Chains A and B, each alone.
Chain A
């Protein structure tokens, strides 16, 4: 189910003194099975963009085609489309409302009017996806859980609709390192194992380096660059000019190159940097041995 965004423009408070252009002529395509990372400074239009992909905002101009179908056309069933494109908002734990975790997760499938048995199964599956044990947390109130657990329950609530595209708006914001790692591992699994197309907004370049297959860089409502992480992260000047950074590993690599070490310019993952470094120092040792 490819998503095609064509010349999308969005203005808030159109026609009065507070008018702001949040998105300005944005076009791109999301292919099946990819992991598209969306990065950008605060206020660059990322959150506005992802809400459009779910049909929650109406574009001021431009189109969004999902499987060739115009999302904002009169006859389009937006509710049905929303079930195929799951959107997890920033701080999704604030949307929990039911008495128990299970009931909350069942809210999505229930509004899809699925049979009871199917709902049960989906709740179990969704809880499994987010690494929560149904026995221990299933009957608890979502408000008793820790922040990280609440967030996972909220994500499970979206997963229970079995979307083929999952959009996550800063899923790891405000969590401790362990909670963050749990969320990211979970997202990684959903992409690799369940073949869900993922769009993820994040401020963390390291998370992006770990997960994304393609990156979309936003700046002031426009797309500043699109490309593989390797292409994007090898342009630190571009990133820093719009207030972003490169991943830790890329920064270390650049620093080492400055010091005269012979490393490729486009390394950005910790593992590949480690390999190159081992090789480099291994060669040296051999050289010294001679």
Chain B
């Protein structure tokens, strides 16, 4: 029932990409997003494609998982492609009948824009598929900690994210259980119009809220009883470390960006 909802889509296998420092992966993903927008010609898109193939191969994540992220975007992709195809002005006419006019320039622009979206989604999917949400929150905390100078609550934010992420599967499981329990009592979540369906959610939501509040207060108590008092002077169990692989990954991405900039100047 609820098993098809994937929020944390971490794919737990071991690979060089999985072992990279989450900070590296986070920063490189951001750099990659910028790089996608630098590409202008076939050469640029070819480079990006080669990079994605390399990263995907190294990550040991099955292609099916990578492409799953594209599924919800299929309509956006199709519409982007068609809009650009029909409404981009150009000179070299390929097809022309009635009101439809497809030019070479329009075709390539449509293709590039769609590819750009595909690259963005797959690139960021690679980050979330190879990095556990908790590692991501850790990375975020460290990367944001310089902002503490201006009283930005980096630690609190990361802690809230970690807790929220930690409880997503728990609450999903709980929701699934309560749903089943109410179904065993004859509740019907699947039929009826919008209002009956919304009403049918009450037997699910009330127990879920009750248990979420109970869990929250239990957790607060448990944290306090273990002397949690905020981020001040807190050390970590798993200290993040840059390794040689991180250096190599940075170099590869730097080379990619350099080549893309060069492409922009030369071509």
A residues touching B (Cβ–Cβ < 8 Å)?
Answer: 13, 16-18, 51, 54, 56, 79, 82-83, 86-87, 89, 92, 94-97, 107-108, 111-112, 143, 157-158, 161
Inter-chain contact B183/A56, CB cutoff 8 Å: yes
What residues of B have a CB within 8 angstroms of the CB of A18 in the complex? Answer: 12
- Asked if residues A107 and B203 are in contact (CB atoms below 8 Å), the reply is yes
Asked whether, in the complex, the Cβ of B185 is within 8 Å of the Cβ of A89, the reply is no
Q: How large is the interface on B (under 10, 10 to 19, 20 to 34, 35 or more residues)?
A: 20 to 34
B180 adjacent to A56 (CB under 8 Å)? yes
The minimal Cβ–Cβ distance linking A186 to chain B, given in whole angstroms, is 18
Contact call A13/B3, Cβ cutoff below 8 A: yes
Whether A108 and B186, one on each chain, are in contact in the complex, defined by CB atoms closer than 8 angstroms, is yes
The residue in B3, B13, B186, B211 that gathers the most chain A C-beta atoms within 10 A of its C-beta is: B186
Residue B187 CB within 8 A of the other chain: yes
Closest to A99 in B: B206
A77, B49: Cα distance in complex, Å: 51
The complex places the Cα of A144 from the Cα of B184 at a distance, in Å, of: 24
Q: A82 and B207: CB pair below 8 A?
A: no
Question: In angstroms, how far is the closest chain A Cβ from the Cβ of B62?
Answer: 9
Per the 8 Å Cβ criterion, residues 147-203 of B in contact with A are 174, 177-178, 180-188, 202-203
Contacts A17-B12, A18-B12, A83-B186 known; list 8 others, CB within 8 Å. A13-B3, A82-B184, A82-B186, A87-B181, A87-B184, A94-B174, A107-B182, A107-B185
Report the bound CA distance from A62 to B33 in whole Å: 48
Taken together as a complex, chains A and B put the C-alpha atoms of A112 and B188 apart, in Å, by 10
Smallest Cβ-Cβ distance to B61: which chain A residue: A17
B3, B12, B202, B203 interface centre (most CB from chain A within 10 Å): B203
B contact set with A: CB distance below 8 Å: 3, 11-13, 65, 174, 177-178, 180-188, 202-203, 206-207, 210-211
* Contact (Cβ within 8 A) A95 B11: no
How many A-B pairs with Cβ below 8 Å? 62
Chain B, residue nearest A92 (CB): B181
Known A17-B13, A94-B178, A94-B211; contact A56-B184, beta-carbon cutoff 8 A: yes
Are B185 and A161 in touch, CB under 8 angstroms?
Answer: yes
Chain B residues with Cβ below 8 Å from A94 are: 174, 177-178, 181, 207, 210-211
Contact in complex: B187, A54 (CB < 8 Å) = no
Residues of B within 8 A of A107 (CB): 182, 185-187, 203
B130 CB, nearest partner CB in chain A, Å: 13
Report yes or no: B180 in contact with A157, Cβ–Cβ below 8 A. no
Residues of chain B contacted by A111 (CB below 8 angstroms): 185-188
Please indicate the chain B residues that have their CB under 8 angstroms from the CB of A83 in the complex: 186
A14 nearest CB across to chain B (Å) = 10
In the bound complex, residues from chain A placing their C-beta under 8 Å from that of B203 are: 95, 97, 107
Residues of A with C-beta under 8 A to B186: 79, 82-83, 107-108, 111-112, 161
Report the Cα distance A18→B6, complex, angstroms: 13
Choose one: B3, B184, B188, B207; the contact of A96 (CB below 8 Å): B207
Complexed CA–CA distance, A51 and B187 (Å):
16
In contact, A95 and B207 (Cβ under 8 angstroms):
yes
Complex Cα spacing A241 to B61, Å: 39
Instruction: Tell me which of B178, B188, B202 contacts A95 (CB under 8 A).
Output: B178
Q: How far is the CA of A51 from the CA of B181 in the complex (A)?
A: 10
Say whether B184 contacts A97, CB under 8 Å: no
Contact, CB under 8 Å: A97 / B185: no
Closest to B183 in A: A56
CA of A65 to CA of B183 in the docked complex: distance in angstroms? 20
CA distance A92 to B7 in the complex (A): 27
Residues in B with CB closer than 8 Å to A89 are 177, 180-181, 184
- CB nearest to B190 among chain A residues: A79
Closest partner residue, chain B, to A47 (CB atom)? B177
Name A108's contact: one of B3, B13, B174, B185 (CB within 8 Å). Answer: B185
**28 contacts across the A-B interface (CB closer than 8 A):** A13-B3, A16-B65, A17-B13, A56-B180, A56-B183, A82-B184, A82-B186, A86-B184, A89-B177, A89-B180, A94-B178, A94-B207, A94-B210, A94-B211, A95-B178, A95-B181, A95-B185, A97-B202, A97-B207, A107-B186, A107-B203, A111-B185, A111-B188, A112-B186, A157-B185, A158-B184, A161-B185, A161-B186
